[in-house]
Structure 1
Amino acid sequence: MLIRFNVKNFLSFAAREDGHTEEFSMIAGKVRSKKEHLYEHDKLKLLKFAAVYGANAAGKSNLVKAMNFMQQVILAGLPEGHTEKYCKTELSNREKPSYFEVEILLNDKYYSYGFEVILSQSRFISEWLIELHSDNSEKVLFTRDISGNSYVLGGDFRRRGLHDKLENYAEDISDDQSVLFLKIMNQNKRNLYEKYQSATILKEVYSWFKESFDINYPNQPVSNYTYLSRTDKVSEVCRLISAFGTGITGFQVVDVPVEKVMRGLPRSVQESVLARIEQSQVSVRTNEHLKNVSMVMRIASYFFIITVDGSEVPKCQTIEFRHASKDTLFELSEESDGTIRILDLLEILLAGDGKTYVIDELDRCLHPSLTFKFVETFFKMAEAKKIQLIVTTHESRLMDFDLLRRDEIWFIDKKRTGESDIYSLEEYNARFDQKIDKAYLEGRYGGVPIFSTIFPIREE
């Protein structure tokens, strides 16, 4: 689970006046109400939900982009266009390091992982992984001063045998300013982790970024609808879909010709799908223990399941929906944008333990009452789960102390200099009987648009 995320010198996030990073935290504040919204571990209390507010261009999406950037760098290296991602409010920021760090709860322990990089030069200058303890002490597992060509291995990494192995890998890249140690240690290292259990934290931190940190933008689907193909979830899915007022009363998997699916896709996507089918056919033919390969695909408003077995022609299926008591079935592309959005978000409600979802513009295509209902339902279904949902939104109706805790409401505001500040409603100590949404829209907490008069009214 996410504990904290810190960023500096990235897009609209510069350093604070004291030089520190901008910080977003899921650590619970002093609020005593709604304890069911928390996950408690040892002395730590973590929020399961946070809503981030702010005016357009204030930096809400930049927070999501910063999280996603860190994830991309770890999994795939510096992405295209990274050299221009530093905070451009000051020219000197071009040559300054950008800072990214997460604190996470993983396997009942706390860890801090982060790195610094001079983006304009594509040059990493430091990297670290530290085990944190509830008494505020810490144990360094590894640190790299890349610009100084030095590194330190500590904690369990100093164990006999393992230390020599890790030192070889660290020594190989000690002065390599283009790669991260965490990424190197997740490339063909299966034998190492099978032999040295104490080294697996390197694999587990990497896996958290890859599998548990689920970041989503408005222009991409949150879900590929795999939950609809699970027979054990059919009744629960139907109940949820109906509860959100979509009019859908049921769904079923139906066979469709592959040609029909292909006709509705752009040529580049067709080529990608055909390539995946061909790869799967090769895998089935060359692996005698592999009976078939199923691929679940969600592309725009099209959803389909392609199953490849030993035959030449793959089997293709899609899911269609029934409304009211009618026998007519409707394709996903025939549903409204709001219904498709709800179907996207259902995966979050049905997810198991361990996920931290980040959704940019939760309320896109949703009626305000439906957004409220979704968050309310999330809290009910998350009570027994170890799960988190972080959203950006403009929907002020969520600012209701009957729904949210004070520490679950965050703001991002842009200063006159163009830099973004991140802060929590907890800092304002707002009364529990106060109309928070009204106060927010009046600008009491910042994070709302400030309009200038474009066409002044002439005085008579």
Structure 2
Amino acid sequence: MEDVEFLHLLKMVEVVMLRVLHLENWKSFHEPVDFTMIAGKERRHNDTLFSGGKGRVLPTTAIYGANAAGKSALLGAVHRLRNLVFDPRARGQRLPYDPHKLYGTGAPTVIGVEIVLDVPDTSSKRDAIVYYEISYTAERVVAETLYRLRSNDEEAVFTRDGQEVELYGDLDGNDYVRALARTVQVNRLLLETLANSEEEINGVIAGVIQWFKRLTVIRRGAPFVLMPQRIAKDDDFRQVMGAELSTADTGICDVLFTRVGREKVPVPDEVLDHIEAQLVDSAHEGFLSVAAGSVVRVRRDEAGDVSYERLVTVHKHDHGAFELFLDQESDGTMRYFNLLPILYWAGQRNSRGVFLIDELEDSLHPKLTEELLRRFLSVTGEDQRRQLIFTTHELHLLRSDMLRRDEIWLVEKHDHNSELIRLTDFSDKGVRDGADLPKIYMSGRLGGVPRI
């Protein structure tokens, strides 16, 4: 069944930071564009910036634009790159390829990221910074490169031109990696081959693989897949989620798993039979996504019996309490519920990570959207490696007490090509520090609004 997914237990994980995203011939972006999280010369909210060498890095960015301008495509490029790294392809299988339909069909798509890793840089006291880029069509990988960015120069880790791979430094002396590089398939990335190999990979390569593995992308309508597992295993996390939902005036006071009969699980018997066969003993359990946002926990007890528990919300009223399955909650409640782990995670000491969220305000009241952003920013700083990058239409956030001008980007489409503009690029149009940004934006002077 397409709506049933067997989820294994995962941990809340950490990555470090995104500095630059480079795109060419990707969906509505035909011409080369660079989206950067490196801070400009703004003076507001300097205390929120991360100072990790090679320029200060922004903790958050809001991306505005009209419908179909290309906002979702921008975040989707990082998601695509991640999938290419972890989804192995059989020999001859086509790569997922989405060039610009009007100008770029048949030409390579280029996606590159400059990222800070959770790996020490050997030439300085900071974390390693690398640039990874691929160029590909539906049939083949055209080029693939990984460079380490040092204090004053850059150093190649590996380069690839078609099937010709050059390894440098420690990689050149690694016989296992050299063997993989000589035999990498035309439709597979070298990084993907390394990420899916049986041998342990160390150093910068391991750092890049972990960066992609731990990146969190929350697309519109998608659940936060770690939520049920954390609620089941972490009572502190569960209590915080319930308290946050209560504070947001949702009427919910708790979230928990409650036992249900096997016949109450909306999944065919043959699927349940298959899952039960995988539960060898009480140390094994699984999570079934059975409806929009609704999850069932399946586990075997010490006696060998299988139990089913469904995630519910608890509502208090004057005469007691009642429970609702998650799919019975409103869209707004579910959206906020799936974003709450960001606040929990950001509030943990020394936590690191990057969240990409498409349409942050989707189904949310403006006050909840503002509160989410404000509380995230309250735990950022020069030694905190946390980022929240989101697309939005919410004008309420276009205020200087919320965001710096270099934290606001506009996506505008001209002649069927998406263009990316930073708000600080409009200083000559009156967009100075303290300007009425919502009024200026809605006037159309900056673009990024529908032409009606």
Instruction: Note whether the superposition's TM-score is higher than 0.5.
Output: yes
1:402 counterpart = 2:413: no
SS at match of 1:304: strand
Q: Please state how far the C-alpha of 1:330 moved relative to its aligned partner.
A: 2.4
Shifted more, 369-378 versus 78-87: the winner is 78-87
Partner of residue 217, structure 2: 215
Partner of residue 288, structure 1: none
1:274 and 1:28 map into 2 onto residues whose CA distance is 54
Structure having the larger proportion of residues in helix: 1
Partner of residue 196, structure 2: 187
1:64-110 Cα shifts (integer Å, max 9, x gaps): 222221111111157998666111222xx223211011111002100
1:274 and 1:354 map into 2 onto residues whose CA distance is 40
* 8 Å CA contact 1:53, 1:447 repeated in 2: yes
Partner of residue 3, structure 2: none
Pick from 229, 245, 254 the counterpart of residue 258 of structure 2: 254
Pick from 273, 292, 304 the counterpart of residue 283 of structure 2: 292
Partner of residue 20, structure 2: 4
1:392 counterpart = 2:387: no
2:38 and 2:389 map into 1 onto residues whose CA distance is 13
Partner of residue 115, structure 1: 134
1:382 and 1:327 map into 2 onto residues whose CA distance is 40
Unaligned runs of 5+ in 1: 16-20, 194-198, 285-290, 452-460
1:126 and 1:84 map into 2 onto residues whose CA distance is 15
1:52–1:157 Cα change, 3 Å? same
Partner of residue 68, structure 1: 79
Following superposition of structure 1 onto structure 2, how do residues 273-422 of structure 1 map, counting pairs within 5 Å? 274-279=273-278, 281-282=279-280, 284=281, 291-298=282-289, 299-309=291-301, 311-323=304-316, 327-331=320-324, 332-351=326-345, 353-383=351-381, 385-415=384-414, 417-422=415-420
Q: Please state how far the C-alpha of 1:444 moved relative to its aligned partner.
A: 1.7
**Computing the radius of gyration over CA atoms, which structure comes out larger, 1 or 2?**
1
Task: Kindly report structure 1 stretches of 4+ aligned residues shifted beyond 6 Å.
Answer: 78-81
1:151–1:60 Cα change, 3 Å? same
Following superposition of structure 1 onto structure 2, how do residues 6-155 of structure 1 map, counting pairs within 5 Å? 6-15=22-31, 21-77=32-88, 85-90=98-103, 93-107=104-118, 108-119=127-138, 122-135=139-152, 137-146=153-162, 149-155=163-169
SS at match of 2:314: strand
SS at match of 2:368: helix
Q: Please state how far the C-alpha of 1:144 moved relative to its aligned partner.
A: 0.8
Q: Please state how far the C-alpha of 1:374 moved relative to its aligned partner.
A: 1.5
1:242 and 1:250 map into 2 onto residues whose CA distance is 8
Report the TM-score, using the length of structure 2 for normalisation: 0.84
Let me know the Cα RMSD of the aligned residues: 2.4
1:213-254 Cα shifts (integer Å, max 9, x gaps): 211221321344234332123443343223322232334442
Shifted more, 24-33 versus 393-402: the winner is 24-33
Shifted more, 59-68 versus 34-43: the winner is 34-43
1:308-358 Cα shifts (integer Å, max 9, x gaps): 346142342433323356521221233222111111100111125232111
Q: Please state how far the C-alpha of 1:406 moved relative to its aligned partner.
A: 0.8
* 8 Å CA contact 2:147, 2:154 repeated in 1: yes
Partner of residue 11, structure 2: none
Pick from 219, 231, 239 the counterpart of residue 228 of structure 1: 231
Unaligned runs of 5+ in 2: 1-16, 119-126
Q: Which has the higher contact order (CA 8 A, sep 6+)?
A: 2
* 8 Å CA contact 2:221, 2:335 repeated in 1: no
1:132-151 Cα shifts (integer Å, max 9, x gaps): 1132x0111110111xx422
